[in-house]
Structure 1
Amino acid sequence: MALLLLALAAGLVAGYARGGRLRRLGERPPVRSRLILTALGAYAVGVAGSWVWEPLLPVMTALCWFTLGFYAWLNRSYHGARLVALGLAANGLVILLNGGMPVSADAQQRAGVETTVAEHTEAGRVTVVDDTTRLPWLGKTIPVAFPPRPEAVSPGDLAVAAGVAAALATAMTGRRTAAASVRAGAATRPQQRPQRQPGGPRPARPRPTAPPRPPQPEPSAGHATMDGDATAGTAPETPRVTA
């Protein structure tokens, strides 16, 4: 917890130093934020269910970290989000393999923790690093002598703290990753006409359609001629009388 607060403070200082402002954090909100509630719900189910079945707590805790890691991965357009996703996934993996977060009592002593995990083990939450620990290097084996609250942290905790600081500092300035900037530019760029390649066929052009012709008036009924034929719109000829 102390490491995360230190990372937030470092991100704020770096963001203001680069001309950023906190109000810019709302210009590009993260996507799928409901996953945070899903992760908290999974952890709450683990805590409540551990009264009936104790191994449920580490399983649901690992699921909580995996869900938060997936949420960070979906928002990888932010600088540092990939580090956050990697750190959360590493913490979830080591918890799932060991039935709790492995903590080194020696690292806690070097950090100045008064009560180590060897003296007070929280069942289902943490375990002591020993010879049976799987992937012990992913556990809390790094001492951090932060004055308010000294503690031992894991490599995943360090990755999360570094990613959070980077994401906060760059979000305050409105910067994006290179891939996100390219996608945003492609979405706003007007569509260009296809150009003809040298020696290639010309692009097809749409042919103009002719306007519909107005209806023609029907001819009037014809009159019978001397030969018995009908002539449209003409009067019959009158024979001339010669003297």
Structure 2
Amino acid sequence: MKKKLPRLEHPWLLLLTPTPEILGAFLNLPTALTQSLTYLLVGVAAWANRHLPGIYLVLTGALLNALAVFLHGGMPVDPDALNRAGLERYRDYLAQKGDGFHYLAPAFPLGDWIPLPGRVLSPGDLAIALGLLLTPLLPPKRENLR
């Protein structure tokens, strides 16, 4: 018996997600605006596909990141995590407003404080990544099969 896959709804939404970043680069738009629009598109695409297993983790991650940005006007980045990730060269840049979205701040539970080699992530980022990883691996709900 052939395995049936859940149907991806509105795949064009996922294709649009890099658009705010691309337009922002060419039109010199504020990073906070382009990042917010990107998260909005990811959230809308995830909501449209909430029937897929793992998508609720993606939605949770997007909401956690949005909450961090809403509470702080940007994404706080822990300076110690930057050091542990080998990114100490960005400390001065972020201390001086950086990209207008990320900024240096002591560890905040929803901010970027989880160091990986060459990267600092937030709990929301991890939830998004885990959800995207699990979505194709988990069995679909029976009513959502093609």
Do the aligned partners of residues 151 and 85 (structure 1) sit closer, same or farther apart at CA in structure 2, a change above 3 Å counting? same
Of all paired residues, the percent bearing the same amino acid is 26
Larger radius of gyration: 1
Per the TM alignment, residue 126 of structure 1 is displaced from its structure 2 partner at its CA by 1.5
Contact kept? 2:20, 2:38, Cα under 8 Å: yes
The one-character-per-residue Cα deviations of 1:53-102 (angstroms, maximum 9, x if unpaired) are 6xx32122112112102211221222110101121232234335544321
Number of corresponding residues: 141
Q: How many angstroms apart in 2 are the aligned matches of 1:92 and 1:24?
A: 36
**What corresponds to 1:129 in structure 2?**
105
SS at 1:120 equivalent: helix
**What corresponds to 1:153 in structure 2?**
121
TM-score w.r.t. the length of structure 2 is 0.77
The one-character-per-residue Cα deviations of 1:4-58 (angstroms, maximum 9, x if unpaired) are xxxxxxxxxxxxxxxxxxx968x444111111233322222333333xx6xx321
SS at 2:58 equivalent: helix
The Cα RMSD (Å) is 2.8
Which of residues 16, 21, 31 is equivalent to 1:38? 16
Q: How many angstroms apart in 2 are the aligned matches of 1:125 and 1:66?
A: 15
Higher helix share: 2
Contact kept? 2:6, 2:140, Cα under 8 Å: no
Amino acid at match of 1:30: L
Whether 1:169 aligns to 2:137 is yes
> Which residues of 2 match residues 20-59 of structure 1 at below 5 A?
27-50=5-28, 56-59=30-33
Whether 1:118 aligns to 2:91 is yes
**What corresponds to 1:13 in structure 2?**
none
Q: How many angstroms apart in 1 are the aligned matches of 2:77 and 2:111?
A: 6
Do the aligned partners of residues 92 and 47 (structure 1) sit closer, same or farther apart at CA in structure 2, a change above 3 Å counting? farther
Amino acid at match of 1:105: P
Contact kept? 2:61, 2:128, Cα under 8 Å: yes
Per the TM alignment, residue 137 of structure 1 is displaced from its structure 2 partner at its CA by 1.9
The higher-RCO structure (CA 8 Å, 6+ apart) is 2
> Which residues of 2 match residues 1-243 of structure 1 at below 5 A?
27-50=5-28, 56-109=30-83, 111-121=84-94, 122-130=98-106, 136-144=108-116, 149-170=117-138, 175-177=139-141, 181=142, 183-184=143-144
Identify unmatched segments of 5+ residues in structure 2. none
Per the TM alignment, residue 116 of structure 1 is displaced from its structure 2 partner at its CA by 4.9
Contact kept? 1:141, 1:152, Cα under 8 Å: yes
Contact kept? 1:61, 1:92, Cα under 8 Å: no
